[in-house]
Amino acid sequence: MIVKNINDIAGTEQDVVTNNWASRRILLRSDGMGFSLHETTIFPGTETYIWYKHHLEAVFCVEGEGEVETISDGKIYKIAPGVIYALNEHDKHYLRAKTKMRMICVFNPPLTGREVHDDEGVYPLLGEAAAA
Ligand code: 9YT
């Protein structure tokens, strides 16, 4: 069994901070679960363009308020505690935080740990998943 405490991840390589968000990657590809699990904080007043071309992501809001817009159809969905969105179609989207939002995120295939968005809002596919 794997047991971790998120507090032990703070300040390590698994604690990734960007201009718009910070993410503690708790379970990674190396844990062998087939998904990765992260706690992500989205900074208030930010808008982030994201396109997970290679990954599926589910996001569960536990704190804060904001919205997500799917770019293909311009639909805007409010985000508040208890709301989950799942990018089951690799949807290009804008994520906007009105207040600080705390989200639990699951990625398939799992992240290796250090990924940040490139200019296209994409995470690269790293390691074995890239070779498959
Ligand atoms: C909600 C979202 O995708 N935010 C960007 C960071 C991502 N959750 C991550 O890398 O943990």
Task: Look at residue 38 and give its three-state secondary structure.
Answer: strand
Q: Is the CB of 59 under 6 A from ligand 1?
A: yes
Alpha-carbon span 34 to 22, nearest angstrom = 22
**Among residues 63, 8, 66, 40, which one has the least CA distance to residue 123?**
40
Q: Is the CB of 38 under 6 A from ligand 1?
A: yes
38 burial (CB, 10 Å; 0-12 / 13-18 / 19+) is buried
Distance from Cα 69 to the centre of ligand 1, integer Å: 15
16-44 pLDDT, tens digit per residue, is 999 999 999 999 999 999 999 999 999 99
Cβ density class 115-126: b for 16+ within 10 Å, e for less: bebeeebbbebb
Q: Is the CB of 95 under 6 A from ligand 1?
A: yes
Q: Is the CB of 70 under 6 A from ligand 1?
A: no
Name the residue of 18, 25, 40 to mutate for ligand 1: max ligand atoms within 8 A of Cβ: 40
53-94 pLDDT, tens digit per residue, is 999 999 999 999 999 999 999 999 999 999 999 999 999 999
Residue 114 has pLDDT above 90, yes or no: no
63 φ, ψ (degrees, to nearest 5): -160, 140
